[in-house]
Amino acid sequence: MSQITALALFSGGLDSILACRVVAAQGIRVVAVKFVTPFFDYELLAAPDVYQEEVFNKYGIEVLLEDLSSGYLELLHNPRHGFGKNFNPCIDCKILMLVRAQEMMPALGASFLVTGEVLGQRPMSQRRDTLRVIERDSGADRFLLRPLSAKLLPETEAEARGWIDREKLLDMNGRSRSRQIALARELGIVDFPTPAGGCILTDLNLSPRIARIYQGNSIVSVEDITVADVRLLLTGRQFLLPGGGWLILGRNEQENVLLLTMVQNDDAVLSMPVRPGPTAILRRAVSCYEHAAQLQEALQLAAALVVRFGKKIKDSPPEGEVRVSVGREMQTLTVLPLADQVFQEWILNDAER
């Protein structure tokens, strides 16, 4: 019999590393896939080979990177199974990953899927009934093997067809990580990430920002949110101006430079030519305001915020000069700093990290 291949969902956390290794130990060729979105691990796309080499050298696992962004932005509009404590649609997220993984299986010659899920480890997505919902709604069903808890779950095709010996699988259950750590030691895995994951949708500070934009309070409509918008959403100070304008201010020089790399053609860009201060973007200023007067009003407010967060210079007048470019047009506004009590309600959230 030629070697059987399994496709494993790989988060990079210990459970997924162990799941791959437990299956590989039975002579199965395991190919892992790490899904990325703007909400988790997106930066890996900048140098996939570096990541692939690191995972292979550390854990002996062959990993592919797959961008899940397009389906994911849509999923956030209205996840069928709802959100967790923050803006994390964990059940639908896992379903989406499994659906995409199944689409990848033929090209990889994979016969079944593997995940590192552990029964009872997470309240929302790893309860017995939820595990069942995930395999049912993704269509993966009996082709999904969860080797770390397999002995506590119904038999899957991989076991029934004799590709995998069920006896050599595990019966992990619950939140304690001691068995995983002991198994890691046994397998010689010493360098693994801590369980707290890097998913921004579970982040106490950042997930409310994303939620508010997705609630549709901005002039940028929910259907039009792009990957670039999400990257912008995670940068700098964020405001929703009266009228729905979405304004982002850099908090330091590094963020100012970063913001300039994120400017799009229909954004307005603001900065102070004389004093040090934030660079700011008013997103989709050109396309989202119906009337020039509304845009001008938003630019005045944005400029007043730029001055508010600009450096104060001793003995100079409080007003500041702000250069504003909208498309090809430039103007200079001289404005007073906005009083703090005026803009508190406009802060998307403080997100000081």
Using CB under 6 A, list all residues that contact ligand SF4: 40, 88-90, 93-94, 125, 197, 199, 201-202
Q: State in angstroms the smallest separation of the CB of 231 from ligand SF4.
A: 17
Which CB atom, from 85 or from 185, has the smaller least distance to ligand SF4?
85
Which CB atom, from 125 or from 256, has the smaller least distance to ligand SF4?
125
Which CB atom, from 60 or from 197, has the smaller least distance to ligand SF4?
197
Cα 163 from chain centroid (whole Å): 35
If one counts every other C-beta atom within 10 angstroms of the C-beta of residue 149, the result is 25
Which CB atom, from 88 or from 156, has the smaller least distance to ligand SF4?
88
Q: State in angstroms the smallest separation of the CB of 35 from ligand SF4.
A: 8
Cα 265 from chain centroid (whole Å): 25
Q: State in angstroms the smallest separation of the CB of 236 from ligand SF4.
A: 23
Q: State in angstroms the smallest separation of the CB of 16 from ligand SF4.
A: 11
Which CB atom, from 10 or from 112, has the smaller least distance to ligand SF4?
10
Half-sphere exposure of 98 (CA within 13 A, CB side): 28
Contacts of residues 176-182 at CB distance under 8 Å and 24 or more positions apart, as own/partner, are 177/14, 180/14, 180/15, 180/18, 180/118, 180/148, 181/14
Q: State in angstroms the smallest separation of the CB of 94 from ligand SF4.
A: 5
Q: State in angstroms the smallest separation of the CB of 140 from ligand SF4.
A: 15
Q: State in angstroms the smallest separation of the CB of 90 from ligand SF4.
A: 3
Which CB atom, from 96 or from 183, has the smaller least distance to ligand SF4?
96
Query: What is the Cα–Cα distance from 87 to 339, expressed in whole angstroms?
Result: 31
Which CB atom, from 125 or from 279, has the smaller least distance to ligand SF4?
125
Which residue has 């309600």 as its token pair?
345
Burial class (CB in 10 A: 0-12, 13-18, 19+), 344: exposed
Sheet-wide strand order for 237-240: 237-240, 246-249, 280-282, 268-271, 320-326, 329-335
Q: State in angstroms the smallest separation of the CB of 6 from ligand SF4.
A: 20
Question: Judging by DSSP bridges, how do beta strands 246-249 and 268-271 pair with one another?
Answer: unpaired
Which CB atom, from 85 or from 168, has the smaller least distance to ligand SF4?
85
Task: Give the phi and the psi of residue 327 in degrees, each rounded to 5.
Answer: 60, -125
